[in-house]
A and B are shown apart, each in its own frame.
With several copies, the nearest count.
Chain A
Amino acid sequence: MSVDVGIENVSHAYTTGQQSLPVLDKLNLTIPAGQFTAVVGPSGCGKSTLTRLASGLMAPDSGAVTLNEERVTSPRSTVGMAFQNPVLLEWRTIIENVVLPMEIVKHDLTRNQCLKRAAKLLELVGLADFKHKRPSELSGGMRQRASLCRALVHKPDLLILDEPFGALDAFTREDLWQIMRELRGRESFTGLLITHDLRESVFLADQVVVLSGRPATCQYVLDVTLPEDRRIDSLYTPEAVEMLATLREQIEIAQGRKQEVAA
């Protein structure tokens, strides 16, 4: 199952002591059920904040986040989330970390079936032989892959990924892109992907949203027109190259020209 996601006129600011830092400014965004939306934007503009709002971990100062038209007020178990910083629990082995959501979410699988599902995912991302290791024995990129598995294991309706491939080399990354697309073909879920890699956004998403600098507004939306069964080659088609160029340009505009400014 997948859900419609609506971000309606959402504004948010962080307050520390007397200071207030506006991060999102009247942001609008909809992701139709089963679609994948990628969000790109300059560092510190508010992308991770957007994922926290979408998942219900935080409530926006104003505006509303809706899932299937229903207002989100608290997190729900039908969401799978991979955080930017892939925190794994040191007292659990990798596979135990991955099955963790199955211990929270309601389902009618046995423990064994859960473990099997987790093992399958780990195999998919190339960690089959590291199932029973501790997180501290993994490299940075391996931890990120384990965290991705954890987001997927309970077959969420909405998948939120915050730079899930940032620590991976180009080839591992491209393999995972393809795996993600295969998964989407088999299981239907809606996706929200934060990324810095424009090729990644174009390859994986149906829609790419470019955010402006902080406070972030929706600066540009690109509808990806590549065919459904994409291969890495698809990124070298003139169509794709043009899309990438457009995105680069839009981001350059969004950036204005660097320099972080705190309120």
Chain B
Amino acid sequence: MSERMKGILSPIIAIVLFLLFWEWLVWYNDWPNYKMASPSDLWPAFWKFRDLFAMYAWDTLWRTVVGLALAVVVGVAFGVVMGFSKTMRTALYPLLVGFNAVPKATVVPVVALIFVGQHDFNTVLIAFMISFFPIAVSVSIGLSTLEPEYRDILRALGASKLTVFWKIALPKTLPEFFGALKVASTLAFIGTNLMEIVEPHGRGLGHLFDSGKINADYPLMFAVLIALAVLGILLYYAVVILEKIFAGWAEREPTY
């Protein structure tokens, strides 16, 4: 089997196996829908609300992507500051950790109260707040553990710290950066949905989840979760494509 085919088939097989296992689990335990719906229950729910799914998925997706983009910008900025200065690192890390240990679900109402009615802004804000930390951590580690041999190539030419960052440190840490981006993108989805569920404003998959909840329509609720998972996977593949372009060099194929 060619490498290419393997790359396409293996995730499909894994997902199918997972769905089969899920179906079996529900069937074997004879769980009612409200405990856990099985994949075969979800399809009708999807189909019935297909238009809503499409529309709301788009709402959720664009807010997530905007939030994530913001997280990348701010995360990289934090990472650079913390990576280059040990003092800033020891000073900022505890603050950031404290901030991130606070459940965002409890922050949502506060944000909603401060920026009343700015639903899109609020949602993007929460998506951003929940997802920038892994990016900041990965960039700061990339910088603070950069081998001097690499740094010196450019420093010997009188290059500024910023140049060293762009030409050496960032490219060298790209694999870790993309790993952090994958983690951050799943977090951003969680953030978007938190806002949509906790402070509903009639848009997004979170809203559809709520509707399902009101009607005790469990298959719909599970279908929304699966839709979120699918969106997450879509965004993941977008990140993978970026990674192939920018950090393809890093992967070392074992010769054995």
A89 and B171: CB pair below 8 A? yes
Instruction: Given A79-B157, A100-B167, A105-B157, answer yes or no on A91-B172 (Cβ-Cβ < 8 Å).
Output: yes
Total interface residues on B, CB under 8 Å, equals 22
Docked-complex contact A81 and B156, CB < 8 angstroms = yes
Q: Which positions in A face B, CB cutoff 8 Å?
A: 55-58, 74-77, 79, 81, 83, 85, 87, 89-91, 100-101, 103-105, 134, 136, 150, 154
- Nearest A-chain residue to B156, judged by Cβ: A81
Decide yes or no whether B153 CB sits under 8 A from chain A. Answer: yes
Supplied contacts A74-B256, A79-B156, A100-B167, 4 more A-B pairs, CB within 8 Å: A55-B156, A77-B157, A89-B153, A91-B172
A74 CB contacts on chain B under 8 angstroms: 158, 256
How many whole Å from A55's CB to the nearest CB in chain B? Answer: 5
Q: Given A57-B255, A74-B256, A100-B167, answer yes or no on A87-B155 (Cβ-Cβ < 8 Å).
A: no
Residues in A with CB closer than 8 Å to B167 are 100, 103-104
**Does residue B250 face the partner (Cβ distance < 8 Å to A)?**
yes
List which B161-175 residues lie within 8 A (CB) of chain A.
163, 167-168, 171-172, 174
In the bound assembly, the distance between CA atoms of A103 and B159 in angstroms comes to 10
Report whether B154 and A104 are in contact in the complex, using a CB–CB cutoff of 8 Å: yes
Given contacts A100-B167, A101-B157, contact A83 B152 (CB under 8 A): yes
Residue of B nearest to A134 (CB): B249
Nearest CB to that of A55 among chain B residues? B156
10 A-B pairs with the lowest CB-CB distances in the bound complex, closest first = A81-B156, A91-B249, A75-B158, A77-B158, A87-B149, A104-B157, A104-B159, A76-B158, A91-B171, A77-B157
Which residue of B has the minimal Cβ distance to A150?
B153
**Contact pattern, B 212-252, Cβ under 8 Å of A = 1, otherwise 0:** 00000000000000000000000000000000000101100
Find chain B residues with CB under 8 A from A87 CB: 149-150, 153
Residue of A79, A83, A87 most packed against chain B (CB within 10 A): A87
